[in-house]
Structure 1
């Protein structure tokens, strides 16, 4: 069974789930706070569609690759289906056309980088610290 476990993985050692320091983005009033805080510390918004398999896959890849601390950036999670008005306002306030999934990097009050779908995981967030 050792060879089979090496090839297909072992069910006896489940993968530990990585927890990111997400801040729930669920209120339009938070957007002004994000803009204000971005003058001192980079702010990141991850817009996720809970009904989209691609969005789930990109989110999982993002979580697996994430290697920054809470001291580095503030990381916001927006469930855009539950908070559609907030998602719409993100686009207006930060001048980015809506896509899903989508990542926005906010620094000094403006969007300095954004991407959607698989391009999200090509952004080097450490370059915005």
Structure 2
């Protein structure tokens, strides 16, 4: 698994554009939360590149970048939670999960349903 660091609001537009070609995953992680650490470790442990395909994973440290986390929630129309994953396709959030509902199997299944022309 190769995380792309999400550190600037300008990257949200890049993610929207990238999601026109393939799905993008945003993982919002609280470095102060044991549940978040567990969810992140479980996602990394279960991640399989061959099943993830073109899914691009982005990582946000929301403790350091809380305003960016809030902007993500507003941009993609989801309620802020932590930890949280958002699956972005064609500029929209098509799936989100939080806490122990974060699962690589569910994310990859959701991503595999997305069709790109």
Q: Which runs of 5+ in 1 are unaligned?
A: 1-19
Correspondent of 1:38 among 19, 22, 29: 19
User: With structure 2 as the length reference, what TM-score do the two structures score?
Assistant: 0.88
User: With structure 1 as the length reference, what TM-score do the two structures score?
Assistant: 0.80
Determine if contact 1:45/1:105 at 8 Å carries over to the other structure.
yes
Cα shift at 1:71? 5.4
Q: 1:90 to 1:96 in 2, by over 3 A?
A: same
Q: Distance in 1 between matches of 2:80 and 2:107?
A: 21
Higher relative contact order (CA closer than 8 Å, sequence separation 6+) = 2
Determine if contact 2:4/2:58 at 8 Å carries over to the other structure.
yes
Cα shift at 1:127? 3.7
Give the number of the structure whose alpha-carbon radius of gyration is greater: 1
Q: Distance in 1 between matches of 2:43 and 2:94?
A: 19
The aligned length equals 110
Aligned ranges for residues 1-129 of structure 1 at < 5 Å? 20-68=1-49, 72-121=54-103, 123-129=106-112
Determine if contact 2:87/2:107 at 8 Å carries over to the other structure.
no
